[in-house]
Structure 1
């Protein structure tokens, strides 16, 4: 077997490409030596060479270097910021226009960003000023405070000494005293007694003739007054220091240490480390305050400020010394004495205050501070009684002394003396009256009124005292100069007397009625019913023929009084205002609601005598007869009313009574006669069409009636919209959906921007199953009536469940307090099982419009489902609805005007409507 030799690659025999560096692809590079880059510096020119050749060589080198620099400049230029590329090209008109356009674009962009840039710069500047305020800003509040400084205060400012440091003046050098050691003293030649090389005494001859260098008082008895034993002093000092060290280290030997380690560590933690800036500020403040107390040592606030500075610096000893010095310089300033007492311990403070009262015996603050330092009550009493010897007219000290007495008899004795010393103190008189019996209290208050006749507090206290004793007839006499309400303190008669005495003070005659009514309403809103009742009573005395005041007073009694009080005020009202029909009707209704039918009839008979042609009184009398089942008398009254009070409502009531009794022919005949007199009264047309449709079954006649009514009743008249809706529903029931749509479209053209017409169009399409058409109508309706709660409610309910919340949010933005929207939102929360929120929204709905019966029905339905057998909550809703007496609402009007529900109460109608409402949304 033969082996073929391995052939070598052909590229190894070839020449390497230009700029090839072996190993560069894998990161290997060769070495660079000095021979590769040339010499480190240029060789110096040979001075022996030819000068002409040397100049030519230098010129060539400079040209080569310039060319290299030009190449480098082009090589390292940033392509994004190239300049000079077209410098050689001609600058034409197109280039100029392009440059101008670019400049305009840049200016427009800069203008767009200017507002944001300026706002950002302003914010940054404000932040910078806040962090680094100017000196002027730091002292702005102090400058404003200087405006309140009077001229006398300016003049009282102390003169500041010359603290300037003039150039060239030498600083004052203070003498320095350095204690001399014992060895130097002995070595200096003191010719005293020397023991073992140590001087133990000084020769009295070296003292310059003095008996002793330190005075005779410092020499112990029995010793030489001219000699001081330094060795004995040093030994004593050493002994004391050793004793302290032994006490500290006693704990290591099993003994008790005098150092509390916990307290020591706590003390270390309480040490506040101050920064260099704070220390510098304290030094500056200390220098300023030293200047103040030096230039004006009689300025007590300066001493106080200096002491407090040392206290802040935790130099309590220096603070006490400054306070003590201030007491010496300003002995008549109570503030410096109090400051000194505060800085010292309790025992020292007592001594300081005892000294203070010698200088200022009339200072109430110092006596009270001294009293507070005593721990025992007996000592406190002793201090206060001593104070009363110097300041018998101080109310504060008398009050403090009385407050320390535990026995009421001792307190009464003190107060008796107090009112003699301070007869103008109202508090002391009142306190004494409270401690006395009824008879003595009257005497005390009589003396108080004689001493302070202008004090309303004393008059009010006297009135309260009389009322408490049952003498209410004296209250009006006592409260002639008092003017404060006392109803909150449960003194009703006093409050009413105050109102009578003060209600007419400073009130213009033309503003009396309005002002008093506002005051009464304000009192009712604050819960002061008795005060409001007194205001109305006084106002009725001034304006007895104003039926508006009588109405408000009657409503107040109806809401907060009794049936008897309401009946009494209504009887008085009709005597003064017999032409006020509302007052007669209120009286008759209250009698009727109370079960007194005969009393109600008597009131109405009296009302007929005063107002023979009053439509309201006639209708009230007819309603009373109908409700009590006296239909014959009601028909007779209606017959009389049609002659004496010939109005459209009287005719309508006549027709309704005949319809209720089933006399349809008579009702139609009355309708024909009434429509001749009142062709524009929409309700008469409605009743006629309903009789023809529902009772007689004559659809054609009903359609003709609606056609005539739509022509006869103006589009702006009341009930015109209802006529169009009823005519549309008649066509819908008959199966003529196209005609119903046409009627509604015509109605929307004639009466634009009416939510009821849009809502009826939407509901017709929904009932017909045309949901897409209904949604389109909703969009158009909301564009035409964007603030209609009825349309927004329909829009919310037609949306899918996920979209209802967003739709309800839009509705609340457009009509926030619309009761229909609030009811719909409450129903949404009800469906989401959030009963608390649903209850809150139902409550908001009935507060927004208490006259909307549908809102009460929905709330009662919710509570019946939510609470189950909890009749208390349901009864609360029912009672509130009965008090509101609603009259409006789609479902409410349909149920209340139905002949089947004639005679039913508000509660019965409410329960009937609530039972028919759906549970789900």
Structure 2
């Protein structure tokens, strides 16, 4: 760029640099020469005007310059004022608004962050690349490489891998992942901030509500709801003085409003004012509202309970103004102590309040039998559709005439239900069963019976809902057993051949032996061909009443009526055996076999079992037992239980394994579908002949004949376990579970093969899911904890097994056993008693069945079998 020419030229005369830009004039030594100090002596020479030239034009006399100076000064003043205000704001601004000071505490906390936490912080905007890196990392981790031989050789001399630590690490990782899935708790700071924001919003809402209500009170000062709302807003804001002030104003503005006076009393009570002030407010309100029931009751409540005289005076004043209000009369009757005075007041109350039932009920309770009947008859004309009227009449009859027949009470109740049905839309709208339960609570059992029976017979025709009535009875049985029993009685009268209802009735009558006997007799009379009723009748006479002779006579009568019933024959024999009358039992078996020798293999089986027991007691010889079982097999050669029984006699009683093997070999040919025969033969080969090869081949052949039997696979696994080959047992069990994934017994074997406790937890869950919480699996889990010495946890699992299936005897035995380890003798006694009552229904459990069917235990009770099983399990 070329240099401008004017820079090399001489400046014009009088030129001052910068004057065009508003610069002020100045003088240098170059213009004036050397500075010198002149004497302050007037030499009398001519005066020199120093303001000549350029400075002369900027003198004080120039008005335009002065105006410009004023403008600049004004601008400068405004700028300085603005700067001063800004500085003041900076000084007054709280330190928390300063970004530097605001995050000081957070910066200080950063010193506690670890390196791993820093490394785990995500980078903003790097989500896509991060996901890609994670995928690549997972692929790299999933790659597998062939390990060199040198490494494998080195591993051979190194220490063994610690699989326990690996498992613990996996469990720890699983726990961490589960914890991450849980919702994170809010920090205290967040909670406080949220609370503060809620409080601010509430304050803002209160202020807005105040403004709205103030406007409403100004526009409609006589509207009580606006005043009450204002009082409650101040109450919500905890401003009780303002609330009381508004209450006083409200009473002045709207004195005829009952609600306003009651609200004033309430707010004064809440602000801990004395009862005297509250009573003063109530009396003031009653001057304007003498017909206000609410104010009279409030004044009554404000009086002290010990001051009965004042309370009575308040009620009398209230009745003077409100003579037909039943509630006041009821309270006045309660205040009286004399029965005669109460009756007089009740008479007057009924006269003034004829449609109120409670007052009439009070009068009935204060009157004698004759007067009560006349009161009820008079009430029937006015309120004949009231259910409680008829119930009270029936209760009155039961109370004053204990010998009254149930037929009469039932007739009265049916008549009452008919009257009620005329008033109500439908009979179903009245819940008579609730009234029946209330009568039971008051010990009016005949009334309860009449109510239940009449309700069923009248409402069943309308509803036609028998299952609904059964459900009502079952619901009532929880707390009102008599009501449930009476409902069942009503149902069996309508449906006398329904066995299930009779069973429910029997169950509801347990504990009342005379009533139970009466029900049994009635059921047998109506159902003479039902053997179950006769068997239950005999059993309850024997077990509950201890009447052996009575039970025997019931069974003899049943046998005469039903001679073809094998259950009755066996019950007769069992009764004699359990009471140690063995010869009588033998006679009964002989009679039964004479009549049913060709018809009942079960009687033959029980007879042989009885003979084995007699053999152990040295009452019969072994030849007689074999003779009996051979005769049974001649009659029923296809009965596998008889073949199995013969092998047990040969093995256990006579101790002849060779004959037992021959008998079982012949039996599996005749009954190839019988799994117990195959397993018995296999065990015989294994235990007595020490031939694992034959034992295995026997089970394999059995599987060919019975491919759908999971029990055979269980025995194969157990065989390998006894042989000491845990690997083969595990392999067989895995194959079996593939074919029978929901078999409880196979899962029990699978769990028993797991030796490491770290692996059991997942297997427990799998077994429970696959078997739908089978009792066998629950028992095995409890057994596992028992073997580890965790008795309390084992008890929980055994209890679950019992709750899941009460028919499992092994579950009861384990529970009984672990309670002994825990020293819970009382609980143990309860279990023993429970098992004794359920003895006949307990039909599962490998060890339980073995002990129960042992001929030596033929006469043992349920409690004795439980104790035996618990010792050997």
TM-score, normalising length: structure 2: 0.66
| CA-CA distance at 1:646 after TM superposition | 1.1
Flag the 1:404–1:532 CA change in 2: closer, same or farther, 3 A.
Answer: closer
Give the Cα separation in 1 of the matches to 2:822 and 2:238. 69
Which residue number in structure 2 is paired with residue 338 of structure 1?
Answer: 262
Please tell me whether residue 740 in structure 1 is matched to residue 714 in structure 2. Answer: no
Which residue number in structure 1 is paired with residue 318 of structure 2?
Answer: 387
Q: How does 1:14-413 map to 2 (within 5 A)?
A: 46-47=4-5, 284-309=208-233, 326-327=250-251, 330-340=254-264, 353-354=282-283, 356-374=285-303, 377-413=308-344
Flag the 1:500–1:667 CA change in 2: closer, same or farther, 3 A.
Answer: same
Give the Cα separation in 1 of the matches to 2:442 and 2:810. 43
Which residue number in structure 1 is paired with residue 489 of structure 2?
Answer: 537
Q: How does 1:452-531 map to 2 (within 5 A)?
A: 452-469=383-400, 471-473=402-404, 475-480=409-414, 481=416, 483=432, 484=435, 485=437, 486-508=439-461, 511=464, 513-524=466-477, 526-531=478-483
| CA-CA distance at 1:320 after TM superposition | 6.3
Give the Cα separation in 2 of the matches to 1:882 and 1:804. 38
Please tell me whether residue 691 in structure 1 is matched to residue 649 in structure 2. Answer: yes
Give the Cα separation in 2 of the matches to 1:312 and 1:916. 72
1:692–1:702 Cα contact (<8 Å) kept: yes
- Select 2:803's aligned residue among 840, 847, 851: 847
**754-763 or 808-817: bigger deviation:** 808-817
| CA-CA distance at 1:422 after TM superposition | 1.6
Which residue number in structure 1 is paired with residue 663 of structure 2?
Answer: 705
| CA-CA distance at 1:907 after TM superposition | 3.0
Q: Which has the higher helix share?
A: 2
- Select 1:570's aligned residue among 505, 514, 520: 520
Which residue number in structure 2 is paired with residue 429 of structure 1?
Answer: 360
Please tell me whether residue 862 in structure 1 is matched to residue 818 in structure 2. Answer: yes
Q: Secondary structure at the match of 2:4?
A: coil
| CA-CA distance at 1:610 after TM superposition | 2.6
1:585–1:604 Cα contact (<8 Å) kept: yes
RMSD: 4.2
| CA-CA distance at 1:392 after TM superposition | 1.0
Q: Secondary structure at the match of 2:798?
A: helix
Flag the 1:827–1:441 CA change in 2: closer, same or farther, 3 A.
Answer: farther
Which residue number in structure 1 is paired with residue 530 of structure 2?
Answer: 580
Flag the 1:751–1:511 CA change in 2: closer, same or farther, 3 A.
Answer: farther
Which residue number in structure 1 is paired with residue 755 of structure 2?
Answer: 800
| CA-CA distance at 1:356 after TM superposition | 4.0
Give the Cα separation in 2 of the matches to 1:403 and 1:711. 90
- Deviation track 1:339-379 (CA, whole Å, cap 9, x = no partner) reads 45556777776666555434433221122234445565544
Q: Secondary structure at the match of 2:229?
A: helix
Give the Cα separation in 2 of the matches to 1:462 and 1:851. 50
Give the Cα separation in 1 of the matches to 2:4 and 2:232. 87
Paired residues, number? 655
| CA-CA distance at 1:389 after TM superposition | 1.3
Give the Cα separation in 2 of the matches to 1:674 and 1:312. 91
2:837–2:862 Cα contact (<8 Å) kept: no
1:793–1:824 Cα contact (<8 Å) kept: yes
Flag the 1:842–1:444 CA change in 2: closer, same or farther, 3 A.
Answer: farther
Q: Secondary structure at the match of 2:460?
A: coil
| CA-CA distance at 1:750 after TM superposition | 4.2
1:529–1:560 Cα contact (<8 Å) kept: no
- Select 2:833's aligned residue among 869, 874, 879: 879
| CA-CA distance at 1:419 after TM superposition | 2.1
Flag the 1:709–1:432 CA change in 2: closer, same or farther, 3 A.
Answer: same
Give the Cα separation in 2 of the matches to 1:314 and 1:703. 95
**836-845 or 873-882: bigger deviation:** 836-845
2:593–2:604 Cα contact (<8 Å) kept: no
| CA-CA distance at 1:632 after TM superposition | 4.7
Give the Cα separation in 2 of the matches to 1:276 and 1:893. 74
- Deviation track 1:125-180 (CA, whole Å, cap 9, x = no partner) reads xxxxx99xxxxxxxxxxxxxxxxxxxxxxxxxxxxxxxxxxxxxxxxxxxxxxxxx
1:466–1:472 Cα contact (<8 Å) kept: no
Which residue number in structure 1 is paired with residue 571 of structure 2?
Answer: 620
| CA-CA distance at 1:494 after TM superposition | 2.3
- Select 2:498's aligned residue among 508, 524, 546: 546
Give the Cα separation in 2 of the matches to 1:856 and 1:789. 18
- Select 1:889's aligned residue among 821, 827, 845: 845
| CA-CA distance at 1:775 after TM superposition | 3.0
- Deviation track 1:839-858 (CA, whole Å, cap 9, x = no partner) reads 44433333333322223333
Which residue number in structure 1 is paired with residue 56 of structure 2?
Answer: none
| CA-CA distance at 1:685 after TM superposition | 1.9
Which structure carries more relative contact order (alpha carbon 8 Å, separation 6+)? 2
Q: Secondary structure at the match of 1:539?
A: helix
Flag the 1:417–1:833 CA change in 2: closer, same or farther, 3 A.
Answer: farther
Flag the 1:491–1:826 CA change in 2: closer, same or farther, 3 A.
Answer: farther
Give the Cα separation in 2 of the matches to 1:778 and 1:377. 84
Flag the 1:849–1:342 CA change in 2: closer, same or farther, 3 A.
Answer: closer
Please tell me whether residue 414 in structure 1 is matched to residue 352 in structure 2. Answer: no
2:610–2:855 Cα contact (<8 Å) kept: no
Flag the 1:639–1:326 CA change in 2: closer, same or farther, 3 A.
Answer: closer
Q: How does 1:584-603 map to 2 (within 5 A)?
A: 584-593=534-543, 596-603=547-554
Which residue number in structure 1 is paired with residue 868 of structure 2?
Answer: 912
1:520–1:532 Cα contact (<8 Å) kept: yes
| CA-CA distance at 1:391 after TM superposition | 0.9
| CA-CA distance at 1:537 after TM superposition | 1.9
Q: Secondary structure at the match of 1:544?
A: coil
Please tell me whether residue 682 in structure 1 is matched to residue 636 in structure 2. Answer: no
| CA-CA distance at 1:385 after TM superposition | 1.6
- Select 1:751's aligned residue among 706, 709, 716: 706
**277-286 or 896-905: bigger deviation:** 277-286
| CA-CA distance at 1:47 after TM superposition | 4.7
Q: Secondary structure at the match of 1:424?
A: coil
1:622–1:638 Cα contact (<8 Å) kept: no
Flag the 1:467–1:363 CA change in 2: closer, same or farther, 3 A.
Answer: same
1:680–1:714 Cα contact (<8 Å) kept: no
TM-score, normalising length: structure 1: 0.62
- Deviation track 1:200-254 (CA, whole Å, cap 9, x = no partner) reads xxxxxxxxxxxxxxxxxxxxxxxxxxxxxxxxxxxxxxxxxxxxxxxxxxxxxxx
Please tell me whether residue 900 in structure 1 is matched to residue 850 in structure 2. Answer: no
| CA-CA distance at 1:409 after TM superposition | 4.6
